[in-house]
Structure 1
Amino acid sequence: MIDEDMGERLKVALRNIRWWFSRQVSYSQFLPSKEDLECEETKELSKKLIGDSYKETLTNIVEWQERNLQYWHERAEMFTLLYILSAIAFFFVLPQNLWMIPLIIIIFWLFLGDFMTFFIGALILISEVIVAIVVFVYVANTSIIIRSVGLSIIFGSIFSLLLYGMLKYRCLKASLPEFKFADAFKSSLPIRKILQYRLAVCRDYAKLTATLLISSYGLRNSIYFITIPQHVAAAIEIKDKMYVLDQSLPVMTFNKWINYWSEKLSGSFLSKVYSSIYRILGGDVQLYKLIANNGTIKVRKICYKKLGKVRDIPQLDVDIITNKVAYSLGISQLSNKSEPDTEINLKYFAIRYDRDEIVEFSLTRAIKNKLDSELCGNMRKITKIELSQDKSDFTLAVHMS
């Protein structure tokens, strides 16, 4: 009986530790801080983007991000890669230096997401390489040779990644003196820096979106974060329906968003690995509701769903969608040509489509932007458009005068 009670208490303690760790390391990456909510730049941007209706405001927010923010690939990928390399390096600590391990753990805990971690890790690596080489000179030991080679490779990899990042962003630093290379390794950036750098990863997009929604509507509409393996997006509930704003148009309903990511990730080996890890921790798709607490924003976990491959993508009535888009863009739909002048692939647009006013409005805006980007201002020459569906994609055939 005592063992059972101990087991239950241990399970509860582990759940609490997991929740606290997730809150500190995971939620804090995309939760708006008090500083973010009071940021003047965000308030000014919100005033510019708010429309006369929900469909206009939501579409404006996503379109602004799509036009003005560039995805920060180095921050998304180097951040993870450097942590992995640093972690591997710590396994090469020589037996006589085992006392370093507690110090390393403390360093990781204190400087999580900070450039200082990698700087200290690099110093440890250098010292280990020097020790290994010195020992190798006096003692011809195979294990020492392997250790020194391994440490040299890891140190070279870390140094190369850091050097690549510094060289890549020297131009940005020249035009934007406020830019700090160390920010590329931080798990969370303030909204002010996101708007200043115009660079973002998914957690930055989600944080900015949530902040703009709060600035526009407060919390009278329920606002959420939705997480899946290696990704997060913000959503808002309007008339009992949830809409997800995820970096690019169109705005999606919650179920369509799940289908979209299930389809997008279905062929990725890494995504399957992440999905397995998330499933162990409590689900693939996790939904968190934002709640106000003494001027700060916190989250409450609502539910989770499972990601799975979309087996049947329904065949949509593309004629209805075509007519709605043509009417919105003022296209006559009259052409004497039997063949289109150009075709534009709209990847994953079919799987994201839903018969909903907000979705259709944002879809029309997305197609208009694609046409404008492709035709460079010659949209007035369009006489007819035709949409066709190829599984999860649309193809837009364009006839011109």
Structure 2
Amino acid sequence: MKIFTCSNCQNTVYFHNRNCVNCGYRLGFVPQLQELCAMEPVSEPFWKPVNGSASQRFCANAVTDVCNWTVGAEDPNDFCRACRYNRFVPNSIDNWRRIGEAQRHLFYSFLKWNLPAQGRDVDPHGGLAFDFLEDQITSDGRHKAAMTGHDEGRISIRAAEADDLTRETVRSQMNEHYRTLLGHFRHEIGHFIWNKMVRDGGLLEECRAVFGDDRIDYDTAIQKHYTNGTPPNWQNEYISAYASMHPWEDFAESFAHCLHIIDALETAHCYGMALKAPHHDAIAADVDFDPYTVLDFDRLAETWIPLSVAINSIHASMGERPLYPFILSPRVKEKLAFVHKIITRQPVQRPFIQTPQMA
């Protein structure tokens, strides 16, 4: 995520800020500009960016301080480019606010790449929709946790995972190294992207050559995964244990990690980060480029790997778990490169390595 500057006083401001702490101006993220702008009122309900001319309205969710994005004056939708897909929202405003922050972070990347995001109004059977679901108490008094998942464009997120304690408990129970709201969004929308840009984009055979045959029965694959566990040496083939379950999950995990890496590199770029460890030439990196403009994924990986090693080492020095506990093996990098080519709309017809079918 980039660092923003208040367009009124040039103070540093950040993506989720509602007001500039220096000059007090109201801030709004304007999707058309991809900028967080100081806003000044025009006439109710319209605002415009300072030194700008295009009138905007704040997203309808700004009323409850859930969203700081704007909607173009001519846009018939009351909700911004992120919130307009929401069908069910949490009862808790605090949970909704945390979920909304992760959702807008996701859509920031979608705007940068102009990725497809047709809603149910355009595509009733496969368009994008978000349901933030509450846990339920059954008639016999049992607690039934809502499920996070994807079904033909419908993405459901368990609202309770906006609570740090709940999410950490689930992470520990499932023996996961990493679990975040933003990770959920990036993974689940990876399935939507597979539908729109692979299945419907005529790239099934190319994708199968990299990730394996998606026609493998999904329910059988789930049962096998949870009965037998991960295959031996899975780290050589997959970015995560969950990715080893089925080619669909492998693609979705790879999509999520592509976004993780590029977003983190953009942050590092905006902070001017560079690594040069004396006597350790392998731990060197200079993020002197905008990763959203780079088409060569190898360059991104070569910079990210030493940077992630340094970040993990800092976390260890503070007694924390590694921030990025994943290994980019040659096969994993090839999968990430394939996803990167799709989202940057590069040709993917070159010969890829056939994925071995692991027992």
Find the structure with the greater CA-based Rg: 1
Higher helix share: 1
Q: Which has the higher contact order (CA 8 A, sep 6+)?
A: 1
Tell me whether the two structures share a fold, i.e. TM-score over 0.5. Answer: no
